[in-house]
C-alpha cells in the first residue's frame, strides 16, 4: 500500500516536472518594462542623467513623478536617486519654479499649452543637464514619461530638445464594462473594475492602469458601458467611483460615467424623463451636484441615446440637442461636459443606415450647448474592418465633434488576430473632408484647427480586461498605446508609434524591431483582405460578430443582416450608395461627392461600399475582373498571414520566450481563421458569380454548408 502511494506520488511529481512551462515576460508591465540596459556604454550615458535627479515641488502628482523615476532608474540602470537641485543632472519642475529655471539658465521656452512640456539640455556632451519644464504638474508628468521613452527607445539624451503639447484636450478611454464584470465586446477577460470590492480594496492594477495611461497622455476614462446601468448613479456606486477618481487624480486622469437617459424614471421614480420637464431637469441638477460633492473634478457624462433600444429624448418628441443640453446645463456650473454619441440608426426611418447620423445631427449644428461634444464613430456604419470616414466630420462647423475609435477587436477577429490599428486610425485622420477646401483633414476637424473649436476630444473603446497581459494578446497592447499617442497628436505617424512600441515592449535588436514594425504596419490591410476586401462590410457572424457569415438574412431588422450590406446577386455585388442608389455620397463635400459617385474614381478600397458592380467589372489597378479580384484578395490576405507567422517564427531568438510563444500560438489561430474567412466567403459569393476559382488556387477544404453550420454559442464579449 505504502509502495503504491509512493509510486503514485512519483508519477504525479514526474508529470508536473515534465509539463512544459515557459518562463518569461507575461505582458503585465506593458511598455513600461524598465529592464536593465545591458550595454555598458549606453547604460553609463543614461546614468549621467537619470542617476541624479531632482523633482522640484511636492504634491500628489510630483509624488507619482518621483515614484516613476525611482522605478525606472533602478530598473533601467540598477541605480539612481533623488538629489539636491544643485547636484542634479535631471530637473523636473512646473509652474513658477519652471519659469525661474528657464530664466536662470536662459532657456527659451516655446509657447505651449498648460499640459505641454519642454525637455532641454543645457549641459555638455559628456555631462548633460536636462530640464523637464511645464506650466502644469500634469505636463511635468507627461514630460517625465517622454524622457523615459527616450531611454527605452535607445535615443541619446545629450542635446535633447523636445517640446510637445497635446493637440486634443479630452483623450478618453471608453470602457464598455458592465457592473457584473462582463465587458461588452471585451476579449481580454473580465472587467478590471472590481465593483464588489471597491471602494475599500484598491487593486494594484488600478495604479498600473493609471501609469500606463499617463505615459501616453490619456487624461480621461469612462468607467462603464454606454449601454448604461442606472445603478451607476446610486450613492453606493458613486463611492466606488470616487475611490477610483481619487486614485487617478495625481495621474491627471478624470473619471466620466455613461448614463441612461431614463434614469429620472428608473432611479428617481419620476413619471417621465422628458428633458423639457422642470422636474426632470431638477432631478439631474441634484444628481449632478451630488456627484460633484463626492468627486469634485468629475469629468461628465457619455450618453448613448435613441440607439439600439436605449432610451433618449426622442422618446418624448425631443431632439438630441434638447436632450444633451439639459444634461449640459446641470453639468455646466461644475465645468462638466457631455459626450453625446451620434451612433444612431432606426429601422422605422425610411433612410439607409449609413446616412442616418448625418441626417439627424447636421440640422442640429449650432444648437448644442458649449459644454457638449458630439461623439462620432470613425465610419458611417459601425467600426467595420474598413469604412470611409463619417460624412459628419467637417459638416458641423458650430459643433465640436469627438472622434470615437474602437480599440477592442469586435469586428477584427477578437484577441487572436494581430491587427495594429495605427494605420487604420491614420487612414481616417488623414482623410480629406474638403469641408473648407483641400487639406481639411479629419485630424484638423478633431483637433479643432478647422473650425477653431473651444473644446476637442478623442475617445477609444478600450481593449482592456483582467487578463494578465491586459489586452488578451501582447501585440494588441500596441493599439491601446497608439490610441493614446494619436489622441495626443492626431498627425503622429503610425509607423513611428509602432516602432517605439516595439522597442519598448518586445526587443531592442534593430532587425527584429524593423521586422515587427513592418508586420504591424501591414497587418490591417492584410486583415481587410481576408475579411472584407474592396469595401465589403458587415458580413460577420450574427450577434457575437465572430467569423465570416455573409449568408445572414434572418435578423429582425434589414440593416442587421449581411445580405443587406453586400447585396450579392447574379448581376453583381456591392451596395449602390451612388446617386443611382441611396445616394449617401451626397453627404460628402465636393469633389468627393462627385468622385465617389462613379466607380472609376472611387478608391478601390471603398469600391463595393459605394457601388453595386457586375462580376465582370474590370478593376483598374490589376485589370482583373471583379470576381477574380475578390478571390485574389481573399487568397492574398490568407497567404500574407502565413507569411507574417513565418516571419514571427524566424524572430524566436530575439524575443522573450513567453511573449514569443503566446504570439506564435495566436498567429497560428489567425492563420487558420484567415483561411476560414477566405473559404467561406469565396464559396458564398461563388453561388452568385457562378464562376470558378482559378485553377492554381488551393480549393476550400469544406463545402459552403459546412461553414454555414458552424456556431459559437459561447463566443466572448456578446452584448
Ligand atoms: C456595436 C456593438 C454594440 C455596441 C454598439 C455601440 O456591437 O455592442 O453597444 O456598437 O457602439 O458595434 O453602442
What pLDDT digit, counting tens, does each position of 259-318 carry?
A: 999 999 999 999 999 999 999 999 999 999 999 999 999 999 999 999 999 999 999 999
Q: What are phi and psi of 23, to 5 degrees?
A: -90, 145
Verify whether residue 410 is a known catalytic residue.
yes
Q: What value does the mean pLDDT take over residues 246-270?
A: 98
For atom 10 of ligand 1, the residue with the nearest CA is 382
Single out the catalytic residue among 39, 96, 180, 308: 308
SS3 142: helix
Q: Using one digit for the tens of pLDDT, what is the confidence trace for 655-679?
A: 999 999 999 999 999 999 999 999 9
Q: Using one digit for the tens of pLDDT, what is the confidence trace for 27-47?
A: 999 999 999 999 999 999 999
Q: Answer whether residue 15 shows pLDDT above 50.
A: no
- % of residues, the chain, pLDDT over 70: 97
Q: What's the CA-to-centroid distance between 553 and ligand 1, angstroms?
A: 20
Q: What value does the mean pLDDT take over residues 120-145?
A: 96
From residue 213, give the alpha-carbon distance in Å to each of 86, 210, 216, 218, 227.
32, 5, 5, 5, 24
What local confidence, expressed as pLDDT, does residue 20 receive?
A: 62
What local confidence, expressed as pLDDT, does residue 125 receive?
A: 83
Q: What's the CA-to-centroid distance between 644 and ligand 1, angstroms?
A: 30
What local confidence, expressed as pLDDT, does residue 608 receive?
A: 98
pLDDT band for 3, please (50, 70, 90 cuts).
low
Q: Using one digit for the tens of pLDDT, what is the confidence trace for 341-392?
A: 999 987 677 899 999 999 999 999 999 999 999 999 999 999 999 999 999 9
- % of residues, the chain, pLDDT over 90: 95
Tell me the average pLDDT of the chain: 96
Q: Answer whether residue 420 shows pLDDT above 70.
A: yes
Mind listing the domains of the chain with CATH numbers?
A: 40-164 (3.30.379.10), 171-260+344-505 (3.20.20.80), 529-575+612-709 (3.90.1330.10)
pLDDT band for 527, please (50, 70, 90 cuts).
very high
Closest by Cα among 448, 433, 503 to 166 = 448
- Please, is 317 exposed, middle or buried when counting C-beta atoms within 10 Å of its C-beta (0-12, 13-18, 19+)? exposed
Q: What value does the mean pLDDT take over residues 421-446?
A: 98
Return the ligand 1 atom nearest residue 185 CA: 8
Q: What's the CA-to-centroid distance between 355 and ligand 1, angstroms?
A: 17
Q: What's the CA-to-centroid distance between 468 and ligand 1, angstroms?
A: 25
Q: What value does the mean pLDDT take over residues 547-553?
A: 98
Could you give the CA distance from residue 432 to residue 592 in angstroms, rounded to a whole number?
9
Mutation pick for ligand 1 pocket among 226, 344, 378, 461 (CB with most ligand atoms within 8 Å): 226
For atom 9 of ligand 1, the residue with the nearest CA is 227
Edge to edge, the sheet with strand 130-134 lists 81-82, 52-55, 90-94, 130-134, 117-121, 161-164
Return the C-alpha cell found at 468. 494578465
Q: What's the CA-to-centroid distance between 399 and ligand 1, angstroms?
A: 23
Could you give the CA distance from residue 422 to residue 427 in angstroms, rounded to a whole number?
9
**Contacts of range 350-358, beta carbons closer than 8 Å, 24 or more positions apart:** 352/559, 352/577, 352/582, 352/584, 353/381, 353/559, 354/380, 354/381, 354/577, 354/582, 354/584, 355/380, 355/582, 355/584, 355/587, 357/390, 357/392, 358/390, 358/391, 358/392, 358/395, 358/587
Q: What's the CA-to-centroid distance between 478 and ligand 1, angstroms?
A: 22
Q: Answer whether residue 487 shows pLDDT above 90.
A: yes
Q: Using one digit for the tens of pLDDT, what is the confidence trace for 160-207?
A: 999 999 999 999 999 999 999 999 999 999 999 999 999 999 999 999
Q: Answer whether residue 9 shows pLDDT above 80.
A: no
Upper half-sphere CA count for residue 210 (Cβ side, 13 Å): 24
Return the ligand 1 atom nearest residue 226 CA: 13
Mutation pick for ligand 1 pocket among 174, 187, 227, 345 (CB with most ligand atoms within 8 Å): 227
Q: What value does the mean pLDDT take over residues 683-692?
A: 98
How far does CA 383 lie from the centroid of its chain? Answer: 11
Other CB atoms within 10 Å distance of the CB of residue 270: 17
Q: Answer whether residue 520 shows pLDDT above 90.
A: yes
Verify whether residue 511 is a known catalytic residue.
no
Single out the catalytic residue among 274, 382, 427, 467: 382
Could you give the CA distance from residue 92 to residue 143 in angstroms, rounded to a whole number?
8
Q: What value does the mean pLDDT take over residues 108-118?
A: 94
Return the ligand 1 atom nearest residue 411 CA: 12
pLDDT band for 8, please (50, 70, 90 cuts).
very low
Q: Answer whether residue 564 shows pLDDT above 70.
A: yes
From residue 284, give the alpha-carbon distance in Å to each of 257, 312, 328, 454, 662.
14, 14, 10, 25, 48
Ramachandran class of 136: left when φ > 0, alpha when ψ lies in -120 to 50, beta otherwise: beta
Q: What's the CA-to-centroid distance between 307 and ligand 1, angstroms?
A: 9
Q: Using one digit for the tens of pLDDT, what is the confidence trace for 593-627?
A: 999 999 999 999 999 999 999 999 999 999 999 99
Ramachandran class of 247: left when φ > 0, alpha when ψ lies in -120 to 50, beta otherwise: alpha
Q: What value does the mean pLDDT take over residues 503-525?
A: 98
Q: Answer whether residue 12 shows pLDDT above 80.
A: no
From residue 676, give the alpha-carbon distance in Å to each of 187, 394, 502.
20, 39, 29
For atom 7 of ligand 1, the residue with the nearest CA is 719
Q: Answer whether residue 7 shows pLDDT above 80.
A: no
Return the ligand 1 atom nearest residue 310 CA: 13
Could you give the CA distance from residue 345 to residue 446 in angstroms, rounded to a whole number?
23
What local confidence, expressed as pLDDT, does residue 6 receive?
A: 47
For atom 4 of ligand 1, the residue with the nearest CA is 719
Mutation pick for ligand 1 pocket among 174, 175, 182, 184 (CB with most ligand atoms within 8 Å): 184
Mutation pick for ligand 1 pocket among 382, 462, 541 (CB with most ligand atoms within 8 Å): 382
For atom 11 of ligand 1, the residue with the nearest CA is 343
Do 368 and 374 form a contact (C-beta atoms < 8 A)?
Answer: yes
Verify whether residue 500 is a known catalytic residue.
no
Could you give the CA distance from residue 464 to residue 191 in angstroms, rounded to a whole number?
8
Return the ligand 1 atom nearest residue 461 CA: 11
Q: What's the CA-to-centroid distance between 383 and ligand 1, angstroms?
A: 9
List residues near ligand 1 (CB under 6 A). 184-185, 226-227, 304, 308, 343, 382-383, 410, 719
What local confidence, expressed as pLDDT, does residue 145 receive?
A: 98
CA distance between the termini of the chain = 55
Q: Answer whether residue 18 shows pLDDT above 80.
A: no
Q: Using one digit for the tens of pLDDT, what is the confidence trace for 696-715?
A: 999 999 999 999 999 999 99
Amino acid at each position: 500500500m505504502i509502495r503504491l502511494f509512493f509510486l503514485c506520488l512519483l508519477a504525479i511529481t514526474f508529470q508536473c516536472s515534465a509539463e512544459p512551462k515557459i518562463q518569461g515576460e507575461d505582458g503585465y508591465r506593458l511598455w513600461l518594462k524598465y529592464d536593465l540596459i545591458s550595454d555598458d556604454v549606453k547604460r553609463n550615458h543614461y546614468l549621467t542623467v537619470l542617476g541624479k535627479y531632482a523633482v522640484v515641488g511636492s504634491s500628489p502628482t510630483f509624488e507619482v513623478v518621483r515614484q516613476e523615476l525611482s522605478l525606472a532608474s533602478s530598473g533601467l540602470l540598477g541605480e539612481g536617486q533623488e538629489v539636491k537641485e544643485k547636484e542634479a543632472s535631471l530637473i523636473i519642475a512646473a509652474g513658477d519654479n519652471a519659469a525661474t529655471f528657464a530664466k536662470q539658465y536662459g532657456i527659451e521656452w516655446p509657447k505651449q499649452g498648460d499640459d505641454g512640456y519642454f525637455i532641454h539640455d543645457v549641459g555638455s556632451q559628456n555631462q548633460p543637464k536636462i530640464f523637464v519644464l511645464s506650466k502644469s504638474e500634469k505636463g511635468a508628468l507627461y514630460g517625465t514619461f517622454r524622457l523615459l521613452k527616450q531611454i527605452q527607445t535607445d535615443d541619446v539624451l545629450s542635446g535633447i530638445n523636445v517640446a510637445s503639447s497635446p493637440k486634443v484636450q479630452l483623450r478618453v478611454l471608453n470602457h464598455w464594462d458592465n457592473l457584473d464584470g462582463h465587458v461588452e465586446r471585451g476579449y481580454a477577460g473580465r472587467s478590471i473594475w472590481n465593483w464588489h470590492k471597491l471602494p475599500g480594496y484598491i487593486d494594484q492594477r488600478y495604479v498600473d492602469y493609471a501609469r500606463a495611461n499617463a505615459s501616453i497622455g490619456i487624461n480621461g476614462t469612462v468607467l462603464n458601458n454606454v449601454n448604461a446601468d442606472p445603478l451607476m448613479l446610486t450613492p453606493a456606486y458613486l463611492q466606488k467611483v470616487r475611490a477610483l477618481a481619487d486614485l487617478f487624480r495625481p495621474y491627471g486622469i478624470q473619471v466620466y460615467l455613461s448614463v441612461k437617459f431614463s434614469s429620472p424614471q428608473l432611479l428617481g421614480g419620476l413619471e417621465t424623463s422628458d428633458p423639457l420637464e422642470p422636474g426632470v431637469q431638477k432631478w439631474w441638477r441634484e444628481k449632478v451636484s451630488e456627484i460633484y460633492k463626492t468627486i469634485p473634478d468629475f469629468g461628465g457624462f457619455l450618453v448613448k441615446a435613441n440607439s439600439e433600444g436605449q432610451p433618449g429624448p426622442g422618446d418624448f418628441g425631443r431632439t438630441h440637442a434638447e436632450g444633451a443640453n439639459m444634461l449640459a446645463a446641470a453639468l455646466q456650473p461644475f465645468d462638466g461636459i457631455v459626450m453625446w454619441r451620434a451612433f444612431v440608426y432606426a429601422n422605422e426611418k425610411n433612410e439607409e443606415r449609413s446616412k442616418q447620423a448625418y441626417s439627424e445631427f447636421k440640422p442640429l449644428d449650432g444648437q448644442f450647448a458649449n459644454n457638449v461634444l458630439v461623439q462620432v464613430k470613425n465610419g458611417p456604419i459601425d467600426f467595420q474592418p474598413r469604412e470611409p470616414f463619417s460624412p459628419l466630420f467637417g459638416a458641423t462647423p458650430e459643433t465640436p465633434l469627438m472622434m470615437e475609435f474602437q480599440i477592442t477587436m469586435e469586428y477584427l477577429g477578437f484577441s487572436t488576430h494581430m491587427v495594429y490599428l495605427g494605420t487604420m486610425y491614420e487612414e481616417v485622420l488623414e482623410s480629406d473632408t474638403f469641408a473648407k477646401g483641400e487639406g481639411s483633414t479629419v485630424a484638423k476637424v478633431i483637433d479643432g484647427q478647422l473650425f477653431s473649436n473651444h473644446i476637442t476630444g478623442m475617445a477609444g473603446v478600450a481593449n482592456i480586461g483582467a487578463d494578465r497581459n491586459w489586452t488578451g494578446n501582447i501585440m494588441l497592447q500596441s493599439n491601446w498605446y497608439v490610441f493614446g499617442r494619436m489622441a495626443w497628436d492626431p498627425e503622429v505617424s503610425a509607423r513611428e508609434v509602432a516602432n517605439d512600441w516595439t522597442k519598448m515592449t518586445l526587443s531592442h535588436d534593430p532587425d527584429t524591431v524593423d521586422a515587427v514594425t513592418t508586420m504591424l504596419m501591414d497587418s490591417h490591410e492584410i486583415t481587410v483582405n481576408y475579411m472584407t476586401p474592396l469595401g465589403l462590410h458587415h458580413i460577420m457572424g450574427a450577434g457575437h460578430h465572430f467569423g465570416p457569415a455573409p449568408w445572414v438574412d434572418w435578423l429582425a431588422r434589414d440593416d442587421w443582416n449581411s445580405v443587406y450590406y453586400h447585396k450579392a446577386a447574379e448581376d453583381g455585388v456591392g451596395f449602390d450608395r451612388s446617386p443611382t442608389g441611396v445616394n449617401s455620397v451626397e453627404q460628402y463635400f465636393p469633389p468627393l461627392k462627385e468622385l465617389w459617385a462613379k466607380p472609376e474614381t472611387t478608391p478601390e478600397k471603398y469600391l463595393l461600399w459605394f457601388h453595386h458592380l457586375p462580376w465582370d467589372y474590370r478593376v483598374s489597378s490589376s485589370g482583373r475582373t471583379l470576381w477574380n479580384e475578390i478571390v485574389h484578395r481573399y487568397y492574398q490576405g490568407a497567404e500574407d498571414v502565413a507569411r507574417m507567422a513565418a516571419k514571427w517564427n524566424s524572430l524566436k531568438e530575439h524575443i522573450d520566450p513567453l511573449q514569443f510563444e503566446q504570439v506564435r500560438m495566436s498567429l497560428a489561430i489567425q492563420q487558420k481563421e484567415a483561411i476560414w474567412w477566405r473559404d467561406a466567403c469565396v464559396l458564398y459569393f461563388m453561388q452568385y458569380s457562378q464562376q470558378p476559382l482559378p485553377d492554381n488556387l488551393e480549393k476550400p477544404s469544406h463545402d459552403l454548408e459546412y461553414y454555414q453550420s458552424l456556431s459559437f454559442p459561447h463566443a466572448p464579449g456578446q452584448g
